[in-house]
Homo-oligomer: A and B are copies of this chain.
Amino acid sequence: MAAVTIWNEFRHEREDDEVAAVYPDGMHETIADALSDHGHDGESDHDVRTATLDEPEHGLSEDVLERTDVLLWWGHEAHDEVSDAVAQRVQERVLEGMGLIVLHSGHYSKPFKRLMGTTCSLQYREDGAKERLWVVDPGHPIADGLEECIDLPRTEMYGEPFDVPEPDRLVFNSWFEGGEVFRSGCCYRRGSGRIFYFRPGHETYPIYENDDVRRVLRNAVDWATPTEGAPRTFGERD
């Protein structure tokens, strides 16, 4: 059982009726619910808490992060309002071992850009067309229990080039109805921390209600949970 913190910007849901209709309690609550599903052998019950931008320290105090095994991150319109101090704190915790799952528009979040070292830019088109995520790495634990692909009938398009470091492991590769492709599930390790970027998710489509997407979220939490490890000893040596 991992200690999971779900961070959500939580602005769209309070500002936009269309979004509120999809995620009335905020996207973080829907994701929290997904992590409690018993689809994964009943083993995926985690100790889940949530945190949002407008809480003090964005809900990510040192104490909260210290007690978090895996952090999920959804942000979009207010990336710049995340303080540099909190972004750095998240980065440092990942290097110490905390897992990080970055969702959808979180590709432009401060913690992800800091950890990747690149612009994390991409192409996009908000056309509500079809996406199909192909499992390109059927042996990866994040793909456990999936079929060969996941179909999402209506979504926003993200297209290549995606300016990130070559992933350690590519798990999903997306096809879009309009003619684009995108590396939709990218695994990285930085320091002792596991990072998974997962593309699906949007404020106006009910992506996090999709059973396969929810399964991926649970699998990703399991994968990103830190293990015991060996000492990270730095500095002057006798």
A residues sitting closer than 8 Å to B (CB atoms) are 91, 95, 97, 114-119, 121-125, 132, 134-141, 143-148, 157, 159-163, 165-166, 168-170, 173-176, 179-181, 183, 188-194, 226-238
Q: Considering only CB atoms, which chain B residue lies closest to A97 in the complex?
A: B139
CB distance from A105 to the nearest CB of B (A): 13
Within the complex, which residue of B134, B138, B147, B236 is in contact with A124, where a contact is CB–CB below 8 Å? B236
Among A139, A157, A226, A231: residue with most chain B CB under 10 A: A139
State in angstroms the CA–CA spacing of A82 and B97 once bound together: 29
- Give every chain B residue within 8 A of A234 (Cβ-Cβ): 119, 121-123, 161, 163
B119→A117 contact, CB < 8 A = no
Within the complex, which residue of B95, B124, B145, B181 is in contact with A175, where a contact is CB–CB below 8 Å? B181
A191→B174 contact, CB < 8 A = no
A163→B229 contact, CB < 8 A = no
CB distance from A174 to the nearest CB of B (A): 7
CB distance from A125 to the nearest CB of B (A): 5
B233→A161 contact, CB < 8 A = yes
- Give every chain B residue within 8 A of A238 (Cβ-Cβ): 125
If A91-B117, A137-B161, A236-B123 touch, whether A144 touches B227 (CB-CB below 8 Å) is: yes
State in angstroms the CA–CA spacing of A201 and B196 once bound together: 34
Given contacts A136-B181, A174-B181, 16 further A-B contacts (CB under 8 A): A97-B139, A122-B234, A123-B236, A125-B237, A138-B161, A138-B192, A139-B193, A143-B229, A144-B229, A148-B161, A163-B191, A166-B169, A175-B176, A175-B179, A175-B181, A181-B181
A138→B173 contact, CB < 8 A = no
